[in-house]
A = this chain, B = another copy of it.
Amino acid sequence: MEQTISKEDIIAAHERIAPFIHRTPLLHSSTIDMLCGCEVHFKCENFQKIGAFKIRGATNAILKLSEKERELGVATHSSGNHAQAVAKAARDLGIPAYIVMPRTAPPVKIAAVKGYGGIVITCEPNQLARESTLDGLVKETGATIIHPYDNYDVIAGQGSAIKEVFEDEAEFDAVFTPVGGGGLLAGTALTTHYLSPHTKVYAGEPEGADDAFRSLKAGSIQPSENPDTIADGLLTSLGQRNFPIIQEHVAAIFTVSEQEIINAMRLIYERMKIVIEPSCAVPLAALLKEKGRFEGQKVAIILTGGNVSLDKLPF
């Protein structure tokens, strides 16, 4: 595969976004080590600005815009962490962010985007309405669309999380992330390929949203169809730019059941005393399920975010 993001791109992305993000800690629990039969280090992006790693990619993409592009602002459609990330990154640069959100989005999420200064445009709750509303908006304003994952600058920005892990600790045998659209996974896989080539990259995916697992098996992108999982950050299909990177640099994707996700989530709350969103628990669930393969190894897991509705915890 022709390399579309170079080592230098990832290093430059990290330098570019560093003033706008937190350098999050790497945490560790001896109980979880014991349960996994290996040494596990958790990269805590739940402590990141806006409560999720998404600020990394969005900030990198927006910082790479020209002066003229910046003036016209940025736009996206999202009801999740990417919406907050684009709003926050745009505000940091003093430019407008237009966020298309379904009118059924939880009021607390709409309020969060507005809290970061985002201009929210609501639409009917379906993909067609989201895309046509966004298109109309872009025609009207000239804003640049910042895609949540199918964007090389976003992928390079997400790669900065594992770069920090490798700076804090060396000699990892394996790295785990969750996989939704594949922004974090592709960024992590490429960064690992460049900076720690002997380290293998794995993803955990919910059985109820296993399009990446099926795509790897089929050798082509398989769409996510009626995904159903508590890991609500992982519902989307893989991006066009993400898939070839994942195909080349990811060793395996493991699927896990809803109960396995909930158990892993509870373990992190109880033993690490930190708040994570369900999507975060998927890689630990995969590691616990496949622990025979990783015995005695040194493993990093990226905990992607902490934006969970406390009223809806599954325990």
Contacts and interface: CB of A to CB of B under 8 A. Distances in A.
A252 interface: no
B269 A310 contact: yes
Interface in A257-285: 266, 269-270, 273-276
A313 B46 CA distance: 20
Interface residues of A, number: 16
A270 B270 CA distance: 16
Contacts of A310: 266, 269-270, 313, 315
A8 interface: no
Contact of A306 (B51, B273, B276, B313): B273
Interface in A35-51: 46-47, 51
Given A275-B269, A275-B273, A311 B315 contact: yes
Nearest 9 interchain pairs by C-beta: A273-B306, A273-B275, A46-B273, A310-B315, A269-B275, A274-B274, A269-B310, A47-B273, A311-B315
20 contacts: A25-B25, A46-B273, A47-B273, A51-B273, A266-B310, A269-B275, A269-B310, A270-B275, A270-B310, A273-B274, A273-B275, A273-B276, A273-B306, A274-B274, A274-B275, A275-B275, A310-B313, A310-B315, A311-B315, A313-B313
